[in-house]
Chain A
Amino acid sequence: MNTEELITLSLRAIWGNKLRSFLTTLGITIGVFAIIVLVSIGSGLQSYITNQISSLGSNVIFVTPGESGGIGALLSNKLSLQDWKNIQRKTLLTAKSTPEIRQLETLKYKTLRSKGAFVFGVSSSYPEVVTTAKMAQGNFFTAGQEQSGSNVTVIGQSVYNKFFPGQAAIGKRIFVGNKLYTVIGVFAKIGTFAGVDADNIAVIPVETASIQYGTTSVSRIDVAANNPDLLPIVIRQINQTLLRRISSDDYSIQTADSLVSTISSITNVLSLALGGIAGISLLVGGIGVANIMLVSVTERTREIGLRKALGAKRNDILKQFLIEAVTLSVTGGVIGIMLGMLVSVIIAILLVSTVTIWSVALAFGFSVAVGVIFGMAPAIRASKLNPIDALRYE
């Protein structure tokens, strides 16, 4: 009996028990659907974050206090404004850089308030280092304004829309904390990043920030090499500069690439965990297939006996039931894949989700495997039936 005939036979048997087949198939459909959707969300998240980081540019280096990923930075921050100045002097010909003094602050304009805004104290090189910072109105502050500690600020789109909707903002005076600043520019929209509104910001000169918040500690130093080829040289220069004053445990250096790989490893684990959970529901679906195939073998004992009497070999019977199980499970799998892809595409419109070829291939492979694994025991049982006993079976 060839494969085509066996498939036709199994389709007839499945079609002959529509409701039962549908319910069994449903178990696999749900499992495969869950795999596709959850993995799509996982990888969508990953490519979203990766893109966000990559948009920072491949020539960017972040110097952060403390060991990479450690909590030392929160306890004692040894990275200071002086370190940035040293780096800036050392990399004068190879890179542009900016420190970041970061503060959570309330902004005020007349009676309007913007709570939970980030205030960044940065250098005049900021727009050249941070590529997402583009000007929508006005200008960024100059090196002169930075060094003289002027009270000038560039605000984000969210702040602008709250305080000056549709109006010119340049020259207006707003409160950053308890000090008055003159608005000299507005950033173009950046968007939200990991749920945080990246446009609810006010950027001020670093010297001004240092005085206002009474600190010389910086939460980050961003360095942009003049071209990506200079990256290793710039990293060496930074290390030489910093090690003269602080130890290698007091800071860490990351590039966009190293950040991407760190985050990828996290989101990969997330994708795997999500896929694993979905895998459990596929397993349950597989048990359903095994169960219904056992019922089917019992119900069709006489048929098996007759087929054997008429010349079916063990293998013919084994294949017949195995292919029936696989057909059942693959039908469920294909429906699950189509539903999963459809829903993933819908999710992609609202959130992030990417249907990956490997998750589709994996889901299809799983549904075939589930059919084979869970169909095997019932099929072997069927093939081993003694034709005499099977023919007598009522």
Chain B
Amino acid sequence: MKKNDEIIKMVGITKKYDSLDVETIALSGINLSVKRGDFLAITGRSGSGKSTLMHIIGLLDIPTSGTYILNGTDVSKFGEDEAAFQRNKEIGFVFQQFNLLPKLNALENVILPAIYAGMEKKARTEKANMLLTMLGLGGHLNKRPNQMSGGQQQRVAIARALMNDPELILADEPTGNLDTHSGDDVMRTLKQLNKEGKTVVLITHEHDIASQAKKILHLEDGALVSK
């Protein structure tokens, strides 16, 4: 099962929200298959359910019904702590807002996922150092987020996403807060990572960003539409 070439397999995933007797259907029966080494872009207008889908793929939320197999493990019914363990191991997040901790320097921010994975201190420091150097931030190890440009901060976030060697990189509007130049830079990095074997799922509403992926899926009113 583990050696399946499908890293994400979703069958009939739905998500409903109940608030004050009003039922909102965010996702209505998503079937999705992402192969190992794929570069998939999911697009959609705001309100199309793409954030909800991103949260479910990223194990930050659980579906109302349906089956979700992530890298060979059925995670559809996972509780909070099981989900935390699984996403720590399998998923590297890149957020639109970078989400770096302001009081930690670049190195310490990159180390965070390894701390929760229980990696030994010396090993994780060396690895974070290596990742940051690889992404061209070797001279910025001790800088805090507010001492770096947006592009640099997003590269720190990418280094953090790679820290636990996940198979899946989940990028949520990674260029949304960047200028064109830095945005291109981030996309080049993601493409390079894909080339090296990482599966990348990119959520965006910008067409020219999505078009750089190998495959594009469009989300409309909680359902996937091929384009």
Contacts and interface: CB of A to CB of B under 8 A. Distances in A.
Contact of B116 (A303, A311, A387, A388): A311
B115 interface: yes
A314 B116 CA distance: 11
A106 to B, nearest CB: 77
A302 B55 CA distance: 16
B3 to A, nearest CB: 24
| Majority SS at the chain B contact face | helix
B87 A309 contact: yes
Interface string B110-141: 00110111100000000000000000000000
B81 A12 contact: no
Given A303-B101, A388-B61, A310 B88 contact: yes
**Which has the most chain A C-beta neighbours within 10 Å: B61, B93, B99, B118?**
B99
A16 B108 CA distance: 16
B115 A12 contact: no
- Minimum-distance CB pairs A-B, first 4: A311-B88, A311-B116, A313-B81, A310-B113
Given A310-B88, A310-B160, A388 B101 contact: no
Interface string A300-319: 00110011111111111000
A311 B113 contact: yes
Interface residues of B, number: 24
A362 interface: no
A313 B89 CA distance: 13
A188 interface: no
Interface of A is mostly: helix
B109 to A, nearest CB: 10
B103 A312 contact: no
B116 A391 contact: no
B55 A16 contact: no
B60 A313 contact: no
A243 interface: no
Interface of B: 55, 58, 60-61, 80-81, 84-85, 87-89, 93, 95, 99, 101, 103, 112-113, 115-118, 160, 164
Given A312-B84, A313-B85, A314-B81, A307 B99 contact: no
Q: How large is the interface on A (under 10, 10 to 19, 20 to 34, 35 or more residues)?
A: 20 to 34
B101 A306 contact: yes
A306 B99 contact: yes
A312 B113 CA distance: 8
Contact of B84 (A313, A388, A391): A313
A236 to B, nearest CB: 75
B103 A5 contact: no
Most-contacted residue by chain B among A13, A307, A309, A311 (CB, 10 A): A311
Contacts of A308: 84
Interface string A279-306: 0000000000000000000000011001
B95 A391 contact: yes
B95 A311 contact: no
A307 B112 contact: yes
B164 to A, nearest CB: 8
Given A16-B103, A388-B60, 20 more contacts: A1-B118, A5-B115, A302-B99, A303-B101, A307-B112, A307-B116, A308-B84, A309-B58, A310-B88, A311-B87, A311-B113, A312-B84, A313-B81, A313-B85, A313-B116, A314-B80, A314-B81, A388-B55, A388-B61, A391-B99
Nearest to A315: B81
Contacts of B103: 12-13, 16
A316 B115 CA distance: 10
Nearest to B81: A313
A277 B84 CA distance: 46
B14 to A, nearest CB: 17
Contact of A312 (B99, B101, B116, B160): B116
Interface centre among A1, A309, A312, A315 (most CB of B within 10 A): A309
Contacts of B95: 391
Most B CB within 10 A of own CB, among A13, A314, A391 = A391
